[in-house]
Structure 1
């Protein structure tokens, strides 16, 4: 099995070819990064009539956006009260409200721009990996219900019927959420932005960035961009750029394996409602199906330990869904997550008129779409109240490499054993 065979690249119905940037250009907004955030910002700005140029060092969706699980969640990984405790009540309420509406914004964009990304809006299931995990779900249910969210707490029997697995101890269903083919979504956003006049360039790494008092000067290996505004949306895949210091965050690796398409009878027994799932374990596991009926299993960990993770996945699959039997894994890929210490994304001012956005902590689709579009509005208008959270002038986090090693060690220990659910 190829250690870097990405299902999303193999199955994406959306294609988007972007040439490398050459020559000189002068624009209103220059964006670095062609993932959910950058493409959402490009689309928003282009729709508002701004001249936009996006530079992606690799290909559209190359980073976390094209390696994502594909769960379109409402909110952050943190429960709402924890968000308010970290940001203050007013700002926390603002961010919670904006991200509660994120799935609706994502699916509206998909419908409006006819993005072929396998959208399924049947909700997600946050599954309890233990009885203690179910207590956590009860607390989350109470908080979300108090805010009027359409969530349902399922006991063990109901959750087992809903998932097709006897290993879950209950689940929290969120009707706002759903699943997509994430790389196809990123490409579809880029296509829509280009159709509205944005210039999208791949294979165009930025070498240096400087603000001369009136404009940003962006240098690539083959050209120069002069821009009034700048947005850095490279997140966990930021490459060194002279003059653009983006703070380090904790790197967390996440791998996924996908089976061959299941037969009709098998597929009908696994997640029959089409929800996407993740569990309450500290070393998280996710599972979902795609449109072709493949079962996709994911977990924290680097792909370096291919034998360890693949063996764990085989054991875990047998425990979760014994009815699937020996369905072979045909795809194995991984990506990086940018995790902040408080698990809340950051919008950081760049000195001149611009922002760097980073730190989604594993929640890139909804927050990236919402914050990217909001950042474009804020930059073009000069009004930061468009942002769902207050921007910061700087950010510093200590011991990020050590924290990343801790997460990796925890993942390897968990995967060397029998797994976690049950």
Structure 2
């Protein structure tokens, strides 16, 4: 793993999260039934659900709990995946498609149910997720999505221009829709609480323990770290946007795009009553989407795409595009000032679907959060745990597929740059 990754500390989440549970680096040789690589949403959810089934689990994390995307995202718990129910049914057929629809429909429920069941200390709200429509095509998209999810029994609601303006606090959208299942959490608190609960269930977590090699012999895997080894019958890789070269070609199956975020100073009460006054979280339908919410400290958090390169924390200009957006959407907040700027990786697959791989006996890989990792990866961990115990393929939402790198992976920055430039042109201004 590169030593140049943007540190976690400058973020709003690092400043306001609950303390992490006590962990130590691995020192020596130990055994487990399953070893999980990566202490993020997916890895810890997998570990917790396995431990609740009586499985001995060890989690190895190269840095700290939630160091990757799980501690850096916008904290929005949005149900579903990129594709709508009708698209999933068309892609996979009525049986497999409906299974994926049902899985995607329950991602937000899984998060909030876990928090409630284990009495986690996680600031949260669940007033719904609004997707604003910035042009006529986006309005049509909202209409389709409402129809799709209403057919699945969801109380989705179409919003006209006046309603979306009142609920978001800006007149920049022509309409939109609201999904009542969505909400927001303090994501670093959530992943740290997942770790605490997993430990209480018997999971052993070692942080500052990068895996440097893995090999299988005699039906068992051995994972080597700087100061020790873990032997286990099964391995789960759950590193997503921070995937390195531990398993051949895996890193080349995703674009690890950067998601930039800023948080204002606490809003004065007059603004707090006008910007997202009912506590919704929101993102829009742009290809280069903007996502924003008010957190539990009363700050307005804004996120969106930025440069492909890892940003220099001292160069605040890397975040200036998001600061300008806040001023355009909410002119009264233009001079409020900013307390935090941070960045994290989003693992985007070629088809925008979550991918599972089983490239060797006893090895299960999850990759591809697509920007909806809070719910998607929590529920994926639950499904993977069920599968590892049952060995029944029907417990997985998607079938494992071969590892297929992006073609011409070395040119990905050129391709991403071209696509971003095109989307900026076609999305239009705020």
State the alpha-carbon separation in 1 of the partners of residues 41 and 246 from structure 2. Answer: 21
> Alpha-carbon deviation of 1:397?
2.8
Partner of 1:223: 228
> Alpha-carbon deviation of 1:240?
2.1
Partner of 2:40: 35
Query: Is 1:304 equivalent to 2:317 in the alignment?
Result: no
> Alpha-carbon deviation of 1:407?
3.4
State the alpha-carbon separation in 1 of the partners of residues 60 and 304 from structure 2. Answer: 31
> Alpha-carbon deviation of 1:21?
0.9
> Alpha-carbon deviation of 1:78?
1.8
Say if 1:230 and 1:310 are closer, same or farther in 2 by CA, change over 3 A.
closer
Partner of 1:192: 197
> Alpha-carbon deviation of 1:396?
3.4
Q: How does 1:288-367 map to 2 (within 5 A)?
A: 288-302=293-307, 304=311, 306=315, 308-367=317-376
Equivalent pair of 2:252/2:409 in contact (CA under 8 Å): no
TM-score, structure 2 normalization: 0.92
Q: How does 1:237-276 map to 2 (within 5 A)?
A: 237-241=242-246, 245=250, 247-276=252-281
Cα-to-partner distance string for 1:25-77 (whole Å, 9 max, x where unaligned): 11111000010000000100111111100000011111111111111111102
Correspondence for 2:392 among 380, 383, 386: 383
Q: CA RMSD in A?
A: 2.2
Equivalent pair of 1:76/1:344 in contact (CA under 8 Å): yes
**Any idea what SS the aligned residue of 1:257 has?**
strand
Cα-to-partner distance string for 1:284-306 (whole Å, 9 max, x where unaligned): 11111100110011111136385
Equivalent pair of 1:251/1:404 in contact (CA under 8 Å): no
Say if 1:18 and 1:404 are closer, same or farther in 2 by CA, change over 3 A.
farther
Correspondence for 2:60 among 55, 58, 79: 55
Query: Is 1:205 equivalent to 2:210 in the alignment?
Result: yes
> Alpha-carbon deviation of 1:83?
2.4
State the alpha-carbon separation in 2 of the partners of residues 242 and 121 from structure 1. Answer: 38
State the alpha-carbon separation in 1 of the partners of residues 238 and 291 from structure 2. Answer: 25
Bigger shift: residues 376-385 or 213-222: 376-385
Say if 1:177 and 1:162 are closer, same or farther in 2 by CA, change over 3 A.
same
Say if 1:67 and 1:401 are closer, same or farther in 2 by CA, change over 3 A.
farther
> Alpha-carbon deviation of 1:248?
2.5
Equivalent pair of 2:263/2:299 in contact (CA under 8 Å): yes
Say if 1:6 and 1:412 are closer, same or farther in 2 by CA, change over 3 A.
farther
Q: Which runs of 5+ in 1 are unaligned?
A: none
Equivalent pair of 1:20/1:204 in contact (CA under 8 Å): yes
Equivalent pair of 1:29/1:53 in contact (CA under 8 Å): yes
Query: Is 1:91 equivalent to 2:96 in the alignment?
Result: yes
Partner of 1:166: 171
**Any idea what SS the aligned residue of 2:130 has?**
strand
Equivalent pair of 1:262/1:293 in contact (CA under 8 Å): yes
Equivalent pair of 2:79/2:106 in contact (CA under 8 Å): yes
Say if 1:344 and 1:257 are closer, same or farther in 2 by CA, change over 3 A.
same
Cα-to-partner distance string for 1:71-109 (whole Å, 9 max, x where unaligned): 111110222222233333322211110120111111011
Cα-to-partner distance string for 1:165-195 (whole Å, 9 max, x where unaligned): 1112112100011101111111111110000
Q: Which runs of 5+ in 2 are unaligned?
A: 1-5
Question: How many residues are matched?
Answer: 419
State the alpha-carbon separation in 2 of the partners of residues 14 and 138 from structure 1. Answer: 43
Partner of 2:112: 107
> Alpha-carbon deviation of 1:159?
0.3
Cα-to-partner distance string for 1:328-356 (whole Å, 9 max, x where unaligned): 01111111111112110011003111211
**Any idea what SS the aligned residue of 1:229 has?**
strand
State the alpha-carbon separation in 2 of the partners of residues 213 and 395 from structure 1. Answer: 27
> Alpha-carbon deviation of 1:410?
5.0
Partner of 2:24: 19
State the alpha-carbon separation in 1 of the partners of residues 396 and 113 from structure 2. Answer: 20
Partner of 2:238: 233
> Alpha-carbon deviation of 1:160?
0.2
State the alpha-carbon separation in 1 of the partners of residues 34 and 339 from structure 2. Answer: 41
